[in-house]
Amino acid sequence: MKKRWILGTRGSKLALRQTEIVIGRLHALYPDHQFVAEIIKTTGDTIWDKPLHLIGGKGLFVKEIEEALLAGRIDMAVHSVKDMPVELPEALVLGAVLERENPRDAFISVTHGRFADVGPGGRIGTGSLRRKAQILNLNKELEVVPIRGNVDTRLRKLREQGLDAIVLACAGVKRMGFAEHIKEVLSFEMMVPPSGQGAIGIETRDETQLLDLLRPLNDEQTMFEVSVERRLQALIGGGCSVPLGINASLFDGRLTIHSAFGTEEGELLVKQRLDGRPDEADALIAASLKPIQEAQEKLGPG
């Protein structure tokens, strides 16, 4: 009888697609094992009438799945790393991350070819405080309209609500097969994504058998990048509740950290880029943190 492993996942179309990708990789590595998905409804999947930052932030999409892991009902969990809190429960670890899809945000529009084409009064849809702050930083004459839902739902709302554009994660749009809708991939200079965007993470219990099983799936560069991002995010605090963008990227032997920090009102207080060697990651994290902490102190409590 084949050894059976259960992978916990949310029931959204994107979560199921990402779980299919992971199961496909595992089947290829271990054809004598059986891998099955189990859908677990999370808090974030039950509340659709409020923005994420008003109902709890990042943990919304993982808490119930982590409880199933800890209870032994599932063996591993497939997440978008951007949805994972930086502090995992004791006995759980990020066992592997797949090679990263494009972490940038995508500009999608029926009527405009690029972000700069949207004129004063233009309406851009997003459910993210981070995107709102950076959109208004680029053009204060735009209106940001709150929208949530799956990729196909947001594409439908783009048309039904007569929006000029929507901004979504490139990775999700591509994984769902809608890449042809992307009009412009927004540079890090325009829009800093959240930590972990574009990366599929596999969370599991801190057990040798499970970690050995996942080790061949892990992409070392992606793991390094998201580890840098999550370390900086942990030092800053927040999550979905503050407009915070962090991206670390390794290219040609150099580490670049982009970060952006703003307010709920859509004001961008910090936007920066720092470059160095990968072995200077600690120093780059500290240097990125300082101006954000200074901005936090000026804002005061809350």
- pLDDT for 194-244, tens place per residue? 999 999 999 999 999 999 999 999 999 999 999 999 999 999 986 556 799
Q: How far apart are CA 199 and CA 221, in angstroms?
A: 11
Q: How many domains does the chain have?
A: 3
* pLDDT exceeds cutoff 90 at 25: yes
In a domain, 225, yes or no: no
Same domain, 70 and 212: yes
Same domain, 110 and 69: no
Residue 111: both structure tokens together: 């009527």
> Within a 10 A sphere around the Cβ of 2, how many other Cβ atoms?
10
Same domain, 177 and 213: no
In a domain, 230, yes or no: no
Same domain, 209 and 164: no
Strand partners, 168: 106
In a domain, 252, yes or no: yes
Same domain, 110 and 145: yes
Identify the pLDDT of residue 54.
47
Identify the pLDDT of residue 242.
78
Is residue 83 part of the annotated active site? The answer reads yes
In a domain, 194, yes or no: no
In the three-class reduction of DSSP (H, G, I as helix; E, B as strand; rest coil), residue 291 is classed as: helix
Residue 130 belongs to domain with CATH number: 3.40.190.10
In a domain, 271, yes or no: yes
Q: How far apart are CA 155 and CA 167, in angstroms?
A: 10
Q: pTM here?
A: 0.91
Same domain, 86 and 131: no
Residue 265 belongs to domain with CATH number: 3.30.160.40
In whole angstroms, how large is the CA radius of gyration of the chain?
19
Of 60-64, 77-81, 89-93, the range with the lowest mean pLDDT is 60-64
Residue 236 phi, psi dihedral angles, 5° rounding? -80, -40
Q: ∠ CA 15-83-251 to the nearest 5 degrees?
A: 95
In a domain, 11, yes or no: yes
Same domain, 169 and 207: no
Same domain, 211 and 292: no
Same domain, 136 and 94: no
CA torsion 279-214-78-132 (nearest 10°) is: 10
Q: ∠ CA 190-113-191 to the nearest 5 degrees?
A: 15
Give the model confidence (pLDDT) of 117-143 as tens digits. 999 999 999 989 999 999 999 999 999
Q: How far apart are CA 51 and CA 90, in angstroms?
A: 29
Structural domain boundaries, residue 87: 3-98+199-219
Q: Give me the sign of the Cα torsion angle 178, 125, 132, 47.
A: negative
Which is the catalytic residue, given 32, 75, 83, 152?
A: 83
